[in-house]
Amino acid sequence: MPLVLLRKQKIEKIIPTDARLMTQMKLQQMKSQVASAADRMAPVAVQARDMAQDKLYVAREWAAPRLDAAAHSVEEQLAPRVSAMLSQAAAKVDPAPKGKSRSWPMFLLLAGLAVGAAGFAMYRRNSEQWTDMLKENASDASRWVSEKTHTGTQKAGGMTGETASKTGPEADGHADKGEAQADQASNKLS
């Protein structure tokens, strides 16, 4: 049994030598028991670690789609509601809401008027050019028609002359009628 002396400042514990030996022997015995337990537990610990890794992998495999679905749910359902709520709160907190600017509609109106005026000026200029061109084309067309009728009349006159010589005075009357009708057509086209 150990003997303990008490003093005011110091407490000393005196252990006899055979008790020391017994403690060392028990420590050695405990060390050997711990070493043998460690040798027995090493394979069990490795197996437990492998099982834990497998279970962790399965848990992650199970949780990943659910976390993704939760993220989409928050993004599609909760986020718009929170955003709308924050926008409403901001509108209520704003001390002086600004009025709508009326400069854009006025600018668009003036730009439209400017584009319309430019289009009208271009239309007027192009219409004068078109009328001049149409007049030239019409005079060319009437000249071409009158030339064609004149050549047609000459051919008809030549044919009537030939037929008149063959048929006589009756054919002359018909030829004169044909020439008169050709002249009238020529005058109408001119």
Chain segment 84-102, per-residue pLDDT in tens: 888 888 888 877 756 666 6
Task: Please state the rounded mean pLDDT for residues 164-188.
Answer: 67
Between 72 and 166, the higher pLDDT residue = 72
Q: What share of the chain has pLDDT > 90, as a percent?
A: 15
Q: What is the DSSP letter of 14?
A: E
In a domain, 140, yes or no: no
Residue type, 108: L
Looking at every residue in the chain, the average pLDDT score rounds to 77
Q: Alpha-carbon distance 190 to 148, whole Å? A: 12
Burial letters 154-180, b for 16+ CB under 10 A, else e? eebbeebeeebeeeeeebeeebeebee
In a domain, 63, yes or no: yes
In a domain, 160, yes or no: no
Between 124 and 90, the higher pLDDT residue = 90
Q: How confident is the model at residue 1 (pLDDT cuts 50, 70, 90)?
A: very low
Per the structure, the complete domain to which residue 75 belongs is given by 19-91
In a domain, 109, yes or no: no
Q: Alpha-carbon distance 55 to 46, whole Å? A: 14
In a domain, 120, yes or no: no
What is the pTM (predicted TM-score) of this model? 0.29
Q: How confident is the model at residue 2 (pLDDT cuts 50, 70, 90)?
A: very low
Task: Please state the rounded mean pLDDT for residues 5-20.
Answer: 59
In a domain, 108, yes or no: no
In a domain, 44, yes or no: yes
In a domain, 49, yes or no: yes
Q: Is the pLDDT of residue 159 over 80?
A: no
Q: Which of 44-53, 105-114, 128-137 has the highest mean pLDDT?
A: 44-53
Name the domain count of the chain. 1
